[in-house]
């Protein structure tokens, strides 16, 4: 049905907003089905870069599943980096990094941290608070690799400061001396 509507759009004038809505729904459908290749082909078929940008951004704002969010964030930064405001660029890159970190977690645990996918530092802090040290190690390594040469609102030093803060808390042993009674 989407492809038929797309053909119709080539034959008859369709208002820009309707065209964007059609392509957005088609893209989200393909992404939900896990068909990234067809989703990429759809985006490449769209001739107007303004429409393609609008479709990609609106789709990302619909908060699709993890793989779809990762795909859209990667596509937007790869194809429309210069067209995005600095704040939007940072937001999308943070979502890309957060989704990349989520993909390193065990599949059954991802749902517990999905709501933090656009805030990788907060996700890292949550993992630390939940004592998921092995997961934190992989997440930190992933973030270190992704942050090289990136400017997204937080740095490697911010990650190190967060780790230092929790390491200090882990070594803090509050206790009171008790008197020995005979």
* Residue labelled with tokens 């490697």: 156
Rg (CA), the chain: 22
Q: What is the pLDDT of residue 151?
A: 66
* pLDDT score recorded for residue 168: 81
Confirm if 33 and 9 have CB atoms less than 8 A apart.
Answer: no
Q: What does the pLDDT read at residue 40? A: 92
- pLDDT tens for the 182 residues of the chain, in order: 777 877 777 788 888 898 889 889 999 999 999 889 999 998 998 888 998 999 999 999 888 888 899 999 999 988 998 888 888 888 888 888 888 899 889 988 888 988 888 898 899 999 988 888 889 889 888 888 888 766 677 778 888 888 888 888 777 666 665 666 65
Q: What is the pLDDT of residue 55?
A: 92
pLDDT value, residue 27: 93
- The Cα–Cα gap between 61 and 68 comes to 11
CA distance readout (Å), 72 to 27, 50, 77, 108, 164: 10, 16, 9, 23, 33
Name the DSSP class of 125. H
């Amino acid at each position: 049905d989407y492809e038929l509507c797309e053909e119709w759009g080539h034959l008859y004038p369709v208002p820009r907003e309707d065209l964007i809505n059609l392509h957005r729904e088609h893209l989200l459908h393909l992404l939900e089905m896990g068909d990234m290749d067809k989703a990429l082909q759809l985006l490449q078929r769209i001739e107007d870069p303004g429409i393609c940008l609008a479709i990609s951004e609106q789709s990302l704002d619909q908060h699709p599943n993890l793989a779809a969010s990762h795909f859209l964030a990667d596509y937007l930064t790869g194809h429309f980096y210069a067209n995005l405001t600095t704040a939007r660029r940072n937001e999308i890159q943070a979502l890309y990094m957060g989704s990349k970190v989520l993909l390193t977690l065990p599949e059954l645990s991802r749902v517990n941290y999905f709501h933090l996918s656009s805030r990788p530092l907060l996700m890292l802090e949550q993992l630390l608070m939940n004592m998921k040290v092995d997961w934190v190690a992989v997440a930190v390594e992933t973030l270190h690799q992704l942050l090289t040469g990136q400017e997204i609102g937080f740095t490697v030093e911010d990650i190190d400061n967060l780790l230092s803060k929790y390491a200090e808390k882990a070594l803090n042993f509050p206790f009171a001396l008790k008197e020995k009674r005979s």
